[in-house]
Amino acid sequence: MKKTTLALLASAFVANSASAITVFDSEETGTKVEFTGSARLQWRSEANKTSNVNGATTRNHVNKAVSNNGSRFGFKVNQQLGAGFYALGRVEWRFQDLASSQHGFDHVYDRQLYAGIGHKQYGELTYGHMTTVTDEVKQTDLPNTLSLSDGLLTANARHAIQYTYQGIDGLKLGAFYSGHSQRGSNGLDLTNHVKDVWGAAAIYKHKIDELQSVKTGIGFTRDRFEQSNRPAYDRNAFSFGVAYTYDKTTVGVDLERRETNDQALVGNKRTEKEIRTVLRQKLTDDWSAYTMYAYKDNKLDAIAGSNDTKVRRHQFMLGTEYYIVPKYLKAFVEWQTTHAKHFENGEKTKRVRDNITVIGARAYW
């Protein structure tokens, strides 16, 4: 008997606080199509205080309109080929948040668009625009909007080929390569086009017992960018992350470093270092609270005749979220403060303090 499901509001497939609506599922043909995505809105309040060493101080405070916060929608396709092989494809659209817009729902662009072939034992090989395996290395990116874990690794690539392997229980290995691209992951043209980028990562999750688990990740990426009338410059990043969960409590740490050489002028060297921590506590089945702290250091050693610069940041955030409809609809409140000291040629030039508050909601399907 043919078993086929055709419905726009079918039973949802739930994973990692996300879901998908099954549009087509046929056991006879081995075809499955899912509609994926989430609607994300935010209201944001921002305050800034800049204190220069000459005594001048400026203050700014703005409350922004309710706007898009990374809403996305798309489709996933899986086709069984036999002998354990399958074909897969995915498209995900997002909205460009242009500076001239208040709502953030501007031009639609393809954030992810890829296809490939896979086997449970031998792994997956995909090609296209995608979120890469290196995005899974960081272990502190648990908050919603005001996470301090943007990360230093390249986590998205266009025209990329990627291979991932999960044949060992709990272990995921992967590597990717991408050639020339004039656009970034947001679909907009880059000032300096990507010449090529590649990276590799390993993620391992181990369940200790019914209450305890640990997850670790390690990764590396290397980008090269073209410059007008100058040689290409390169950017190398390393990352290590670990998270430990006991019952309803999760703690995590990320350590990252990135070096950029020859940007703007041959001989320039920029070094970025980040230490990020997170603590997340599940208070009830639907209610969680979390906090983060991050130390970030960005230093430019310029060639002779140019100024060396350094920015040292201490960041702290608090947040809480509540699922109004479990796994499908949640609301959250987050607050973040950043204290930054700016230096030029070893001398402090100014102090900057930024405070941000966000009230948001997300609906998953």
Segment 70-114, tens digit of pLDDT: 999 999 999 999 999 999 999 999 998 776 678 889 889 999 999
Q: For residue 254, what are the CA distances in angstroms to 140, 174, 313, 336? A: 6, 19, 16, 18
Cβ 240 vs Cβ 255: under 8 Å: yes
Contact 356, 44 (CB under 8 A): yes
Least confident of 17-26, 222-231, 284-293, 294-303: 17-26
Q: By residue range, what is the domain housing residue 63?
A: 4-364
| Distance between CA atoms of residues 290 and 251, nearest Å | 10
Contact between 342 and 348 under an 8 Å Cβ cutoff? The reply is yes
Mention every residue, 6+ apart, whose C-beta is less than 8 A from residue 336: 146, 148, 315, 316, 317, 354, 355, 356, 357
Q: Is the pLDDT of residue 11 over 50?
A: no
**Total count of domains within the chain:** 1
More confident residue, 16 or 170: 170
Q: What is the pLDDT of residues 30-43, one digit of tens each?
A: 999 999 999 999 99
Q: What pLDDT was estimated at residue 66?
A: 95
pLDDT at 19: 66
Distance separating alpha carbons of residues 149 and 355, to the nearest angstrom: 17
Is the confidence at residue 7, as pLDDT, over 80?
Answer: no
Q: pLDDT for 108-146, tens place per residue?
A: 999 999 999 999 999 999 999 999 999 999 999 999 999
Could you report the per-residue pLDDT of 260-310, keeping only the tens digit for each? 999 988 999 999 999 999 999 999 999 999 999 999 999 999 997 789 999
Q: Give the angle 110-68-323 at the CA atoms, nearest 5°.
A: 105
Average pLDDT over residues 324-345: 97
What is the reported pLDDT for 12? 36
Phi, psi of 84 (to 5 degrees): 85, -5
The residues facing 18 across adjacent strands are 15
Tokens of 170: 């709990």
Give the CATH number of the domain where residue 193 resides: 2.40.160.10
Q: Which residue has the higher pLDDT, 228 or 153?
A: 153
CB neighbours of residue 283 within 10 Å: 11
Report the predicted TM-score, pTM, of the whole model to 2 decimal places: 0.89
Q: What is the pLDDT of residues 168-219, one digit of tens each?
A: 999 999 999 999 999 888 888 888 999 999 999 999 999 999 999 999 999 9
